[in-house]
Structure 1
């Protein structure tokens, strides 16, 4: 009888510990499934679980399997933020693109952006990242200074701001979806070898240069940049892009191109003897910058099927593997 009672007490104690451990877990709909997730609050004034974003990320166990939402109160966060490769399933949510700002000012080295997202299955919403090193008003040299680097797969940005001058957004590799985002810069300010769809985004040109420098290296690579239903504007002049690698691929689709666009449109950069390998294309754009009569003579005319495939989520999620399975 004593042993039976001891077993019952032990079981109840274990159950109590399990309930306490799960008390911070809630449930959220992911596609058609209801799965556990947890929340962390970051508040710079000290009224949350953490005062810095990085400390909140550090608290998440490596190789975690459930989504964790890190909610960030409004404010300016003076820190570099890194989501390491072994910390997936993080939803980073600020209080608004104009209310929550993460800012730093490193430069030149591709490894030191203000924000680095290196893991797969990451969502970022309602926040902005700025590299202030060569802000136009501080008269510092105009050199690479990255606001954000994205190299994980299955990454979604919604209402996120990226602010810099040269090399603002390093879209390095992986499948990425940018929706209702703002990207500011002058020289190669969206660059890399990501396979990315930019939908309904605002592209703000603040200095003469190039919007994109895409890095596709082989005709068999699936990556490229697609800008759909977006708006390109600013106070300087710009090319739509130049080829960072010899098979660079960029499409502007149904986008408002204002008079900031250089008439030639595109630049082959170091590949002027291999222009036939580059895929730079425009379709259905409007505005004074959409006039293609003076474009470079090697700009591509893609067939309608290719354009329709690239200008949809099929370009980044053709098997419906990830976008529909993220938290609502």
Structure 2
């Protein structure tokens, strides 16, 4: 009896804690921390600045990162939400590491925001023939956004793992499944660039690999007003890592790097009815759908708008509460 009461108490605490985390909003004004290799900085590494953030943080922490190449792996723990990482621009501030097992940048915290930073996994060197997984960024958290950032790698560059995310004016480069995962995400006004790396092997590849698992799974990748191009071969737009994969590409430029067939069911041949791959309103030499696989879906009107609208990732209004400085 005592054990049952103790178990019930622990369960209720966990439920309350989870509810608090889910409903968390980040308070303004933000507290600013400076990361730089100069003596005037609060910290010399990005990870040490994140480590200084208190657990269960509820105030925006603005980590301002000076120009430079930061050769470190960076992790944002689940219990440190409300962190805004601002670099000096994606051409000036970069986080670089080369690792097969771990991402260069990994966030588990809700309300992780980044602006003007390049995330690079340098594992696959130009002269390497055997390409392997090397994740530049993994996002396993809800209500996260990336503005003016770059993600560089070859295989599995951006692991859009879990949660609702927004990417604006970002540059994402890779060759094999270089945007993959089970995220519920909008990519807007961004460039997807197919490449096996400078002087890398000339082979075909794939832009996306989505992992939606069931008809009740709300995840999916939405690309609107984007540019898909590249060099060194051809790439399909996406392949299904799970049976209900969902990718929508709309009002975007598709170069001739896009393979005519467009999509691949992978191990789900014969089950294509559950896969939602959509192309609407695109243009460019790669947008010709005459040779596409015959199971690509067509959406229009409200059916399409429900994915293109910001409400696809933001029914609660969290997006409008991001730090105003992001939009200046």
- Residue-by-residue CA offset, 1:52-108 (whole Å, 9 max, x unaligned): 00000000101011000000000000000001110000000000011001000001x
Report the Cα distance in structure 2 between the residues aligned to 1:70 and 1:106, rounded to whole angstroms: 25
The yes-or-no answer on 1:261 pairing with 2:251 is no
Give unpaired runs (5+ residues) of structure 2: 1-24, 197-203
Report the Cα distance in structure 2 between the residues aligned to 1:88 and 1:35, rounded to whole angstroms: 14
- Given the alignment, which residue of 65, 88, 99 partners 1:95? 88
Report the Cα distance in structure 2 between the residues aligned to 1:78 and 1:226, rounded to whole angstroms: 31
| Structure index of larger Rg | 1
Q: Which residue of 1 aligns with 2:285?
A: 288
Moved more, 311-320 or 211-220: 311-320
Q: Which residue of 2 aligns with 1:78?
A: 71
Report the Cα distance in structure 2 between the residues aligned to 1:279 and 1:46, rounded to whole angstroms: 53
- Residue-by-residue CA offset, 1:182-228 (whole Å, 9 max, x unaligned): 00000000000000000000001004211000000000111100000
Q: Which residue of 2 aligns with 1:24?
A: none
How big is the alpha-carbon RMSD for the aligned residues of Structure 1 and Structure 2?
1.4
- Given the alignment, which residue of 184, 188, 195 partners 1:199? 188
Please give the residue correspondences for 1:125-204 in structure 2 after superposition, counting only pairs within 5 Å. 125-135=115-125, 137-139=126-128, 141-204=130-193
TM-score, structure 1 as length reference:
0.87
Q: 1:117 Cα deviation (Å)?
A: 1.1
Report the Cα distance in structure 1 between the residues aligned to 2:61 and 2:283, rounded to whole angstroms: 41
Q: Which residue of 2 aligns with 1:22?
A: none
Report the Cα distance in structure 2 between the residues aligned to 1:288 and 1:302, rounded to whole angstroms: 21
- On the 8 A contact 1:145/1:165 being kept in 2, the answer is yes
- Residue-by-residue CA offset, 1:261-319 (whole Å, 9 max, x unaligned): 00000000010021111000000000000000100001111242111110121111133
Report the Cα distance in structure 2 between the residues aligned to 1:256 and 1:245, rounded to whole angstroms: 27
- On the 8 A contact 2:27/2:59 being kept in 1, the answer is no
Paired residue total: 292
Report the Cα distance in structure 1 between the residues aligned to 2:118 and 2:143, rounded to whole angstroms: 20
The yes-or-no answer on 1:252 pairing with 2:253 is no
Give unpaired runs (5+ residues) of structure 1: 1-30
Q: 1:138 Cα deviation (Å)?
A: 3.5
Report the Cα distance in structure 2 between the residues aligned to 1:82 and 1:153, rounded to whole angstroms: 15
Q: 1:34 Cα deviation (Å)?
A: 8.0
Q: 1:326 Cα deviation (Å)?
A: 1.0
Report the Cα distance in structure 1 between the residues aligned to 2:37 and 2:243, rounded to whole angstroms: 45
Report the Cα distance in structure 2 between the residues aligned to 1:314 and 1:37, rounded to whole angstroms: 26
- On the 8 A contact 1:89/1:120 being kept in 2, the answer is yes
Q: Which residue of 1 aligns with 2:210?
A: 214
Report the Cα distance in structure 2 between the residues aligned to 1:70 and 1:267, rounded to whole angstroms: 41
- Given the alignment, which residue of 290, 303, 307 partners 2:304? 307
Q: Which residue of 1 aligns with 2:97?
A: 104
